Structure 1
Amino acid sequence: MNLLSALPLKVLWVFLFINAISFNFFPSFTTNRLAFLALTIFFILRYRFVFKQKEILLLFFLLSLACYSMVVSVLNIGDTTQFSRLFHFALFSILAPLMLFRMLNNEYEFHLAVVFATIAQIFFVFLTYTSRSFNDVLFSVVLANNNFGESLGRAPGLSSSGGATLSVIISLGAFSIVRLAKFGMSSWHLPVLILICFSNIIVGRTGLILSLFALMMFFTRSRVNMRSMLMFLLLAFVFWLFIADFLIQNEQFLQYTLKWALSGLSGDGTASALLAMGLPKMSISQLLLGTGSVVLPTGLNASGSDIGYVQSIFSLGLIISCLFYSLLFCFLSSYAKGCNDEKFAFFIIFLTFFIEVKEPFIFKYFYVFYVFMSLLLLKRERV
């Protein structure tokens, strides 16, 4: 029996892998590592490692960069975070899709699993947003690298990250619905897509923007039938009947969440904060070759910037960083060319580098995993 032969197992594996949940009793034991280990064991037992030359070369390049990062860190008495990032990127973002691709039957079942994993997370998003007692129990076990569970201003979900990272994870379900619609419209597609957009209002603006992009793609690429519209209207009625009244009377939504969401449209939001983050003072050699540092001994950000590109340049140097991003773009684009949905393929590749301006999402692994997995399946499928 194939490890992923049943839909519930696919959904569970996708949920554990993309959400990367940590636990208080063993912080380094994350669910994405567990999922990757299970995938690797079953792959070794049932398949042979047969990869294309460009895939082997990229893995070798990434491991070489990891070694370079280690050398720079040792010479500059830095930390090993960038080494860990590159090593795990090679495993989780490149090797995992290559193995999973061999074990899935088609593109449809992958995107269906992503959507159901997203719906499961949305359930926890609303639950953790409305119930402090549930959060007390949940986060006594789950390690939360944020304080959202304390204030309930933003929904932490069943996640160790929350915020922008969780919102982008949720947005993956929106893009999967866009692809599923190409196989045939279903009445549940639009309502779930709207639900994803709404859930990101109380999670993170980055994912909300991506979800709205997906919603626009859905309308421009698909014919919305009457059943979908009726389902949407029914969902809107239920929302107004049960949820809208709760939100209108909910102090945390009015005093924090709504103001926080709307601040993204003004100069007081994330955009202005990012614009204030530039490269810190560095010598010419440090700028070109890197400092080897990502995190200070105090736990603070060594570069002083949330921007993924700035963190990479500060750690790896301008030369290696440009080489890394350029080769990654060329590698992903090589799979997009000639696939059966080039517009979708190149758009999600573009978003890979677009959201890196917000945070180092490339080194959070799940988004490139999703993009590469989608590209591999797009090369195989014919809709």
Structure 2
Amino acid sequence: MNKNLQRNNSLFNYSFFLKLLYIFFVIYDIDFTFSPSFTTARISIVTIILILILKRKKIEFQRRTVNFLLVLLFLIACSILQAAFSNDFTQTSRLFYFTVISLLGAYFIIPFIRSRNELLWLFLIACSIQGVIVLYGFFVPAFKLTLETYIIYGANFGIDNLYRSVGFSSSSGAALSVIQCIGVISAGLLITTNFRNGFTKIIVIVLGLVCFVSIFVVGRTGLWISFIFISVMFGNNYRFILSFAVLTIFFYYINLNALLESATSGLSDFSVEYFSGWLGESLDVSDNATVNALNEMSIPPLDWDTLIGTGKISDSNGLNSSGNDMGYIQTYYSLGLILTFVFYFSLLLFLKSFVKNSSNIKALYILIAIVFFADLKEPMLFKYALPFFIFSIFLIDKKSNLKAKISYESII
């Protein structure tokens, strides 16, 4: 009996590690210098399809999923037609990988996930590992230069920038900060679980803090999303509000600037005042460089071209054709107003269809709001990690409602 139990635990740990690798490689989508285009997300999707075939795992697509897939296939076909005239297949690529990586990638992993808690642990641990790498790169700049040797980054800042860190991921800046906030959200959702002991909850909080702190040295978009999630999810939780107030008072009295100066004393030319100002600016929506920049960006006027779509995302020089960073505006300029409405509205209907019979209605509505909020900064839907996370949570939530819940605190 004991030998069988040990064998099952061993298999579970091995299985958990493989699932962790899959999620890590999908959300961080690493593009190595020695194999460009063969990103870890693409390799992971192909691998899991082969595993599904070999293990004869069944994936059942409900009518709503089939309908959403048909909409996406229709949009892909339209974008191909538009690209034939514009000679820019970027939007086609975006829609295709959104379908394969974000949506189908979530469906492919769900048959191997046993509970909602296990899935949240997987995302939390993956983001925590990246958080440690990001923080190490921030305090040891030479490490970032080493990473650059092997990884292709899409950063809009120099890799030698002292105030921004990168990680074991091709994503950087705002995109990486949004991925790291997935860890914060996972921790928040796990905290609402009734754990048998307080130690497990402490581990969740510590890992969540690692993810949260790592956002500070990556980008500010993830901070906004984290604040929105925390305030809405726990806004009426008096115990949480009291704990947050005590934590705020604690940080007020320890003099954060002095602590930061001590931690960055080994970084030459590092200005604590500049870094603190950059972080503080993220909390001032009325006078924020990012918000101001977005407000100053022009919106292409509505005419025949933008009604049916120009098919353009970037020009021959790789510059933004729409002149706007917002995901909504880029999609509107490329697909056209009509098809853009079809895409976002069908996505909303698809996600909302999961909420009706859920036992986590509040959490799911918050996640839906986050999906649409994130695209106000950049086309985060087409960076695949956030929608992959959201689709996975919605799918496992549906699966959990159909079977008894299982506790997986033993993985810690």
Asked if these proteins are the same fold (TM beyond 0.5), I'd say: yes
TM-aligned CA distance change 1:14 to 1:256, over 3 Å: farther
Residue 163 of structure 2 corresponds to residue 153 of structure 1: yes
| d(CA) in 2 for partners of 1:207, 1:268 | 15
Partner amino acid, structure 2, of 1:24? T
Contact 1:187 1:228 survives alignment (8 Å) = no
Residues 148, 162 of structure 1: 8 Å contact kept:
no
Distance 1:222 1:117 in 2: 30
Structure 1 192/329 Cα, relative in aligned 2: closer, same or farther at 3 Å?
same
Quickly say closer, same or farther: Cα 1:325–1:39, change in 2 above 3 A. Answer: same
1:205, distance to aligned residue in structure 2 (A): 0.8
Paired residues of 2:59 and 2:111 also in contact (CA < 8 A): no
Contact 2:178-2:222 at 8 Å conserved across structures: yes
- Equivalent residue, structure 2, for 1:116: 125
1:65-113 CA-to-partner distances (Å, cap 9, x unmatched) read: 11111111212x3300000111111111211111211121111111101
Matched, 1:372 2:391: yes
Residue 274 (str. 1) matches residue 294 (str. 2): yes
Structure 1 position 256, deviation (Å): 4.1
Query: Would the aligned equivalents of 1:248 and 1:254 in 2 still touch at CA under 8 Å?
Result: no
Between the aligned partners of 2:164 and 2:270, the Cα distance in structure 1 is 9
The alpha-carbon distance between structure 1 residues 7 and 230, as it changes in their structure 2 partners (threshold 3 A), is: farther
Q: Per the alignment, in what secondary structure is the counterpart of residue 188 of structure 1?
A: helix
* Conservation of the 8 A alpha-carbon contact between 2:139 and 2:264: no
1:290 aligns with 2:309: yes
Higher deviation after alignment, 37-46 or 107-116: 37-46
Larger CA deviation: 190-199 vs 153-162: 190-199
Give the Å deviation of 1:257.
2.8
Gaps of 5+ in 1: none
User: Aligned residue for 1:78?
Assistant: 87
CA contact (8 A) 1:202 1:257 kept: no
Deviation string, structure 1 residues 228-285 (Cα, Å, up to 9, x no partner): 999999xx99x99986621478542525432322233252411111111232356x21
Unaligned runs of 5+ in 2: 1-7, 196-200, 406-412
Deviations 1:322-352 (A, max 9, x none): 0110000000110122211100001111110
> How has the CA–CA distance of structure 1 residues 132 and 247 changed in structure 2, closer, same or farther, with 3 Å as cutoff?
closer
Contact 2:307/2:337 (CA < 8 Å) preserved in 1? Answer: yes
**In structure 2, how many angstroms separate the alpha carbons of the residues matched to 1:55 and 1:135?**
41
Give the match for residue 6 of structure 1.
15
| Structure 1 residue 157: Cα displacement | 1.7
**Cα pair 2:260 2:272 within 8 Å, conserved:** no
Distance 1:281 1:25, change over 3 A: farther
Amino acid at match of 1:85: R
Number of residue pairs matched? 379
Report the AA paired with residue 277 of structure 1: M
Q: Which amino acid in 2 is paired with 1:203?
A: V
The match for 1:165 is 175
In 1, the alpha carbon distance for the partners of 2:73 and 2:365 equals: 26
- Mapped partners of 1:188, 1:243: distance in 2: 24
Q: 1:258 aligns with which of 269, 272, 276?
A: 276
Partner of 1:89: 98
Name the SS of the counterpart of 2:169 in structure 1: coil
State which of 330, 337, 362 in structure 2 corresponds to 1:318: 337
1:151-300 alignment, distance < 5 Å: 151-185=161-195, 186-216=201-231, 217-218=233-234, 220=236, 245-247=262-264, 251-254=269-272, 256-264=274-282, 265=284, 267-281=287-301, 284-300=303-319
Q: Is it true that 1:102 corresponds to 2:102 in the alignment?
A: no
Q: CA deviation at 1:44?
A: 1.9
Q: What is the Cα deviation at residue 362 of structure 1?
A: 0.8
The root-mean-square deviation of aligned C-alpha atoms, in Å, is 3.0
Distance of aligned partners of 1:199 and 1:244 in 2 relative to their CA distance in 1, 3 Å threshold:
farther
TM-score with structure 2 setting the length: 0.84
Give the aligned residue type for 2:228: F
* Equivalent residues of 1:288, 1:319 under 8 A apart: yes
Corresponding residue of 2:30: 21
- Corresponding letter in the other structure for 1:166: L
Distance in 2 of aligned mates of 1:212 and 1:218: 10
Deviations 1:103-134 (A, max 9, x none): 21111111101111011111111111122221
Change (3 A) 1:231 1:221: closer
The 1:380–1:244 alpha-carbon spacing in structure 2 relative to 1, beyond 3 Å, is: farther
Range moving further from structure 2, 212-221 or 28-37 = 212-221
CA contact (8 A) 2:28 2:41 kept: yes
Paired AA for residue 29 in structure 2: A
Look up the match of 2:3.
Answer: none
Structure 1 residue 337 corresponds to structure 2 residue 346: no
Q: CA 1:49 to 1:299, structure 2 compared with 1: closer, same or farther past 3 Å? A: same
Give the structure-1-normalised TM-score. 0.90
Give 1:359 deviation, angstroms.
0.4
- Closer/same/farther in 2, CA of residues 281 and 199 from structure 1, 3 Å limit: same
Question: Bigger shift: 268-277 or 82-91?
Answer: 268-277
Question: 1:240/1:305 Cα in 2 relative to 1: closer, same or farther (>3 Å)?
Answer: closer
Q: Is the Cα contact below 8 Å between 2:124 and 2:208 reproduced in 1? A: no
